[in-house]
Amino acid sequence: MAVQKGIAEGYYPSYEDDVTLLAKLNGTSNLWMGEPNSAVNWTVENAAEVGADAIGFTVYGGSNHEIEMVEEFRDAQEAAREHNMGVVMWSYPRGQGLKNATTPDTIAYSTRLGLELGADITKVKYPGSPEAMAHAVTQAAKSKVVMSGGSKTNDQEFLTTVRNAMDAGANGLAVGRNVFQRDNPEQILDGLEAVIFDEASVADALDRMGVEPSNPEAL
């Protein structure tokens, strides 16, 4: 479970026996309209006290704030090592100089950035095809790659993207809106479990969920 400071402090004690905590150390609100940046709002030491097993940290490669964000990530990564905590980088290329932040080469560069800066896992957006995702995974070398959940889509489209990412060598999925914005979050979680852990096809996952395909010809 990846959450910010206030949620972790207020609610994690009630769930610590059931789930592990990934402390998201920086973030920004939807109200921010400037050059991409992400404020650090708690420390590794505080996260460890709350019971976190790992930290998460966003780096906007290509932003005018990239240098300071990388330096902040360095400090967090080194502190996490002292506490034997895993390190996950949200590697999101954004900024004035980027016309398209999800091209295959840009996403592959993002996974490489995670490797070079010392992330155990790098979270990136899906680059549009299994081939492009495979290239991104290759560039990450020994660092693991997970796909972000992205904006909400229908069940078949979402599971197809996840299936493609897993087939391309991704290690999993970090998802929020595509689960909790649904009327039945547990249903899509059953489908994701089938695809990611049971290596099921999209058709089989939809069947397990009890959902009719939106585009049967695509299966």
Mark whether 144 is an active-site residue.
Answer: no
What are the pLDDT digits (tens) for 95-104? 987 888 899 9
Task: Quickly list DSSP for 33-58.
Answer: -SSS--EE-S-HHHHHHHT-SEEEEE
Whole-number pLDDT of residue 155: 96
Whole-number pLDDT of residue 100: 87
Buried b (16+ CB within 10 A) or exposed e, 35-70: ebbbebebbbeebbeeebebbbbbbbbbbebbeebe
Over residues 118-134, the mean pLDDT reads 97
Q: What structural domains does the chain harbor?
A: 1-148 (3.20.20.70), 154-219 (no CATH)
Whole-number pLDDT of residue 126: 96
User: Given a cut of 90, is residue 151 above it in pLDDT?
Assistant: no
Phi/psi class of residue 210: alpha, beta or left (left: φ > 0; alpha: ψ in -120 to 50)?
left
User: Given a cut of 90, is residue 152 above it in pLDDT?
Assistant: no
What are the pLDDT digits (tens) for 54-78? 999 999 999 999 999 999 999 999 9
Whole-number pLDDT of residue 98: 85
State pTM to two decimals. Answer: 0.94
Whole-number pLDDT of residue 82: 98
Residue position matching structure tokens 């939807």: 30
Over residues 181-194, the mean pLDDT reads 95
The structure tokens listed for 52 are 């976190």
> How far is 174 from 89, CA to CA, in rounded Å?
11
Task: Write down the catalytic residue from 123, 142, 144, 152.
Answer: 123
What's the longest Cα–Cα distance across the chain?
52
Whole-number pLDDT of residue 158: 96
